[in-house]
Amino acid sequence: MAAKEITQDQIVNRLDELPTLPTVVYELTKIINDPMSSTNDVEKVMNSDLSLTTKVLKLANSAYYAIPGGVTSLSRAIGYLGFDTVNQLVLSASIFEALDVKGPQRFDMNEFWRHSIGVAIASEVVAKKVHHPTPSDMFTAGLIHDMGKVALYTLEQDTMLAIVEKAEKENLSYNDAEIQMKIPAHTVIGQALSKKWALPPVIPAVIRFHHDKVHNQRAYLPSDTNRNIDIVYLANILVHALKFGYSGHKKILGAPIDVIERLGMKPETDFKPLLAEVKISLDRGSDFLRVLGTSGK
């Protein structure tokens, strides 16, 4: 399949064709960032979107969180999970809805989102392992690290499918295939979309650099940001190694020793146990896609 020539600016300028996120996402983020806010304040905002609230409660009751006895109210969910995690679930559900690809599909979006959920879960596991202050932020960053692919698929389906075809035929990563084809990078498209949606500052940088493991390529970024990128980079490698979902290629890379060491772990003793822990977490979180229910509706 041949891909037509298309520039980065042409794609970025068309991002306005994609849906926007619901107002509740921004209202909730504002409330959660206010130290004076209460559980009641969060409930008031979320009650304005019954569908979103229902999804959040279903996610809170998933095996991944394993809340004793489950939850039937937002206040109980917030009490167990905390503001940050509830905010993460609201943002995740909203992004899934906004990027839901309607109609007949030539690319398995369910498997794509399964991979994305896998990277989200793995990012949170790695973040906790390396004592990240807000692992829930890493969950969100991991979830949407590849959303530039969905944007390209929605706007220029044949182009995205041509990249996948080349990656499969030549056993390349999706990233290497798009570079060889000189097609605008999904990392740049995703970064632009994250800025359009005014997502938290941690997210655009992770999306843009999650394939760049060499520090000197992003040396100008703050150390905390580079750490976040390393977490999602490693999580992505782990999920590909476990063959959880499908993101457009089947190329599996080896353990990134330099990234593991930068995160304060020892490759020879920490990598395999970490992989095992991620697998267990993926098994617990396998119903996330069913709850969020994007493609195939």
Instruction: Report the predicted TM-score, pTM, of the whole model to 2 decimal places.
Output: 0.92
Residue 1 lies in a domain: no
pLDDT at 103: 61
Written as one string, the DSSP assignment of the chain is -PPPP--HHHHHHTGGGSPPPPHHHHHHHHHHT-TT--HHHHHHHHTT-HHHHHHHHHHHTSTTT--TT--SSHHHHHHHH-HHHHHHHHHHHHHHHHTPPPS--SS-HHHHHHHHHHHHHHHHHHHHHTT-S-HHHHHHHHHTTTHHHHHHHHH-HHHHHHHHHHHHHHT--HHHHHHHTTPPPHHHHHHHHHHHTT--THHHHHHHHTT---GGGGTTS-HHHHHHHHHHHHHHHHHHHTT-S-SS--------HHHHHHTT--HHHHHHHHHHHHHHHHHHTTTHHHHH--TT-
Q: Which domain holds residue 189?
A: 8-292
pLDDT in tens, 237-286: 999 999 999 999 999 988 899 999 999 999 999 999 999 999 999 999 98
Q: What is the pLDDT of residues 37-78, one digit of tens each?
A: 999 999 999 988 888 899 889 999 998 998 999 999 999 999
Query: Is residue 185's pLDDT more than 90?
Result: yes
**pLDDT mean over 68-92:** 90
Say whether pLDDT at 297 is over 60.
no
* Residue-level pLDDT at 1: 57
Residue 3, in any domain of the structure: no
In this structure, what CATH number is given to the domain that contains residue 225?
1.10.3210.10
Whether 212 maps to a domain, the answer reads: yes
Total domains present in the chain: 1
Within a domain: residue 297? no
